[in-house]
Amino acid sequence: MADPSAADASAADAFMADARALKERIRAAARAAGFDQVGFAPAAPPTHADVYEAWLANGYHGEMAYMAREDAVRRRLDPREALPGCRTLVVVSLLYGPTPAGATALDRRSVDGGDSAPHRRLPVVARYALGRDYHDVFEERLDALSAAIENLAPGARTKRYVDYGPVLERDHAQRAGLGWIGRNTMLLHPDLGSYFMLGELLTDLEIEPDPPFVHDRCGTCRRCIDACPTDAILDGRVLDARLCISYLTIELRGSIPEALRPAIGNRVFGCDICQEVCPWNSDAPVPAEAPFAPRSGQPVPPENMVAWAEELAPLDADEFRARYRGTAFSRPGRDGLLRNLAIGLGNAGGAGARPILERLRADPSPLVREHARWALGVLQGYVGPSEQNAES
């Protein structure tokens, strides 16, 4: 007579083998969809939930009120709130890499934009933004991965997220083995650096998690903290977003605090400094594919702030949206970008800055007018409070 316990063990072995095979098929499908890293994390509350709650309580999220909404917080603190029955997070990344060979002058700008006058007048743009909006690229690829999972495991439910979603993605990425959270609060991998973006597919499939990345490879280094021009990186791997140039130039809708404007320099969209100085990025690989490469006909920012401001000034909001649809620049919008360019022009000065700032001083947008007045004041060497605040 057959031993029932042996039969049970054999069935369990077969189940485990099937589960492992499914996991590796999903991993292969993620790679086929174009992702560079793939890891599996349990759908459990994030390890750093307390850090996140303290971050919100301190108001470090600034005007990103969507992050502090009660329902969003609840879902960030437990992926099962975002997808009922969720058991696993498939965490994926796309490398956009350091400056590729053959890049344009715009791509090649050094960390501070350089000291020479032409370099100071270049609009410095975060590397990920010089092409298609990465959200669109992730969404397409996560949809392909979702379809593949549906084929492999009919009936499985999935839900995708790219950093707008209620998921503490770096926390989950660390748990999925993709890297560690550095002092600059970015996810870092010893072979890949930090020039990559993350996305997640939540699923109700039970998949064995990958081993977490447990090592902290920052050691005694503090380069990112020392290099940050606005002292936005606090001890304890906490970012005060209200001080961060990425937040100020992309997320903030209103006026940029005057005390921070000089430190922004010519960074008119985002900031890569705390990644540029990181030693783990010095040998970061250039990816074989440029995942966020511009589509044909997509606008590429001119290599001069004056030219970019002249291009944007005549556009109204609808014309801007039509022109910049599908790019990261649509996030701050026309007025936000012109606000940033006015600051950059005030900081850089040089030929052509004053005429375009005079034009922006009469712009339909009060936000743009105020920043243009500030910049003209900087160019004059003094700006008095009454002049800054007076409407023209």
What is the nearest approach in angstroms of ligand SF4 to the Cβ of residue 326? 24
Could you tell me the smallest distance in angstroms from the CB atom of residue 44 to ligand SF4?
26
Q: Is the dihedral of CA 135, 238, 256, 127 positive or negative?
A: negative
Q: What angle do CA 347, 348, 351 make, to 5 degrees?
A: 135
CB of 332 to ligand SF4, least distance (A): 15
Q: Which residue, 112 or 310, has its beta carbon nearer to ligand SF4? A: 112
Integer Cα distance of 153 and 148 in angstroms: 9
Coil, strand or helix at 123: coil
CA–CA dist 253, 146 (Å, integer): 34
Q: How far is CA 284 from CA 47, 192, 195, in A?
A: 27, 5, 8
Number of other residues whose CB lies within 10 A of the CB of residue 42: 19
Beta bridge partners of 31: none
Choice between 35 and 292, CB closer to ligand SF4: 292
Closer residue to ligand SF4 (CB): 37 or 184: 184
CA distance 13 to 22: 14
Q: Which is nearer to ligand SF4, 166 or 179 (CB)?
A: 179
- Closest CB 391 distance from ligand SF4, rounded Å: 30
Query: What's the start-to-end Cα distance of the chain, in Å?
Result: 97
Residues within the interface to ligand SF4 (CB under 6 A) = 182-184, 188, 218, 221-224, 228, 230, 232-233, 239, 244-246, 271, 273-274, 277-280
Structure tokens at 294: 């511009």
Question: Which is the catalytic residue, given 8, 133, 163, 204?
Answer: 163
Of 176 and 181, the one with the shorter C-beta distance to ligand SF4 is: 181
* Number of residue whose CB is nearest ligand SF4: 182
Q: How far is the CB of 213 from ligand SF4 (least distance, A)?
A: 14
Backbone φ, ψ for residue 119 (5° rounding): -70, -35
Q: Residue 70 Cβ, how far from ligand SF4 at the closest point, in Å?
A: 27
333, 363 contact by CB (below 8 A): no
Does 163 qualify as catalytic in the annotation? yes
Nearer to ligand SF4, 214 or 288 (CB): 214
By C-beta, is 209 or 229 nearer to ligand SF4? 229
Return the half-sphere exposure (C-beta side, CA atoms, 13 A cut-off) of residue 226: 6
Q: Which two tokens stand for residue 242?
A: 């209200």
Residue 39 pairs in a beta bridge with: 91
Residues 6+ apart with CB under 8 A from 22: 152, 153, 205, 207
Please, which residues have CB within 8 angstroms of residue 90's CB and are 6 or more apart in sequence? 26, 30, 38, 39, 40, 145, 200, 201, 202, 203, 207
Amino acid, single-letter form, for residue 213: F
Could you give the CA distance from residue 26 to residue 144 in angstroms, rounded to a whole number? 11
Q: How far is the CB of 283 from ligand SF4 (least distance, A)?
A: 13
Catalytic residues: 163
